[in-house]
A and B are shown apart, each in its own frame.
Chain A
Amino acid sequence: GAVVSQHPSRVICKSGTSVKIECRSLDFQATTMFWYRQFPKQSLMLMATSNEGSKATYEQGVEKDKFLINHASLTLSTLTVTSAHPEDSSFYICSPQAPYEQYFGPGTRLTVT
């Protein structure tokens, strides 16, 4: 199957700081990238969809100014959590879309103290 990497795998940051999560599709090009988050004991929830070179579209209830998504190339997308707060602590998963299949990264565990 396709290889997707995320970096970092775990990050702890202080409240008020920003954190950048990178997602790379290592062996295919993804024109569409989905970002999900997962709170403890809950299922994955779609946050946003981005297409390469375009602005991301966000799901209802997700603040676009807080979760900045950059999809500048077909193999790299970044999610920046700005001014993080403890309630942003979650498991963030990127999901690049290839033709007829959606892949998933290994996830990034963010803890905001």
Chain B
Amino acid sequence: DAKTTQPTSMDCAEGRAANLPCNHSTISGNEYVYWYRQIHSQGPQYIIHGLKNNETNEMASLIITEDRKSSTLILPHATLRDTAVYYCIVSRTSGNTPLVFGKGTRLSVIA
């Protein structure tokens, strides 16, 4: 699976949009971009995933560049409960391929 590069940490003011970048320049054509987050001492929580089109759900938006070499996760109105480590992962969706976690970005939402 392709590797990803994310900033180690970011701060965001409560109520503002949090934009978390991810580089995945070696992504293959059949690999999706997944975003998970992990709140302290909990299991990872699925946020969103996409292949090449931008995606939006009730939690976030995912913007993927046209060349698919990078993406941005957008939390439109960050709250204190969004403080977590956010992982950007590229992976195929085949059943027996486990997700490989990098170091992620530690997002701190500040009141």
Report the separation of the CA atoms of residues A90 and B87 in the bound assembly, to the nearest whole angstrom: 20
B102 is an interface residue with CB less than 8 A from chain A: yes
Task: Return chain A residues, CB-CB under 8 Å to B44.
Answer: 44, 93, 104
Report the separation of the CA atoms of residues A39 and B108 in the bound assembly, to the nearest whole angstrom: 21
Give the one of B38, B41, B42, B98 with max A CB within 10 A. B98
A49:B96 contact, CB within 8 angstroms: yes
A34 is an interface residue with CB less than 8 A from chain B: yes
Report the separation of the CA atoms of residues A95 and B104 in the bound assembly, to the nearest whole angstrom: 18
Partner pick for A46 among B36, B93, B98, B104, CB 8 A cutoff: B98
A109 is an interface residue with CB less than 8 A from chain B: yes
A97 and B93 in contact, given A43-B101, A44-B44 (Cβ under 8 angstroms): no
A99:B95 contact, CB within 8 angstroms: yes
Task: Return chain B residues, CB-CB under 8 Å to A73.
Answer: none
- Tell me the nearest residue of chain A to B87, going by C-beta: A43
Report the separation of the CA atoms of residues A8 and B39 in the bound assembly, to the nearest whole angstrom: 19
A107:B99 contact, CB within 8 angstroms: no
A32 and B102 in contact, given A1-B46, A107-B42 (Cβ under 8 angstroms): no
Give the one of A43, A51, A107 with max B CB within 10 A. A43
Interface residues of A, count at CB 8 A: 27
| B contacts with A: majority SS | loop
A82 is an interface residue with CB less than 8 A from chain B: no
Q: How far is the CB of A38 from chain B (nearest CB, A)?
A: 9
A101:B100 contact, CB within 8 angstroms: no
Report the separation of the CA atoms of residues A104 and B95 in the bound assembly, to the nearest whole angstrom: 15
Report the separation of the CA atoms of residues A97 and B95 in the bound assembly, to the nearest whole angstrom: 7
B65 is an interface residue with CB less than 8 A from chain A: no
Task: Return chain B residues, CB-CB under 8 Å to A4.
Answer: 43
B41:A109 contact, CB within 8 angstroms: yes
Q: How far is the CB of B58 from chain A (nearest CB, A)?
A: 12
B43:A102 contact, CB within 8 angstroms: no
A101:B41 contact, CB within 8 angstroms: no
Q: How far is the CB of A30 from chain B (nearest CB, A)?
A: 10
A102:B98 contact, CB within 8 angstroms: yes
Query: Which residues does B use to contact A, with CB under 8 Å?
Result: 36, 38, 41-46, 87, 93, 95-96, 98-104
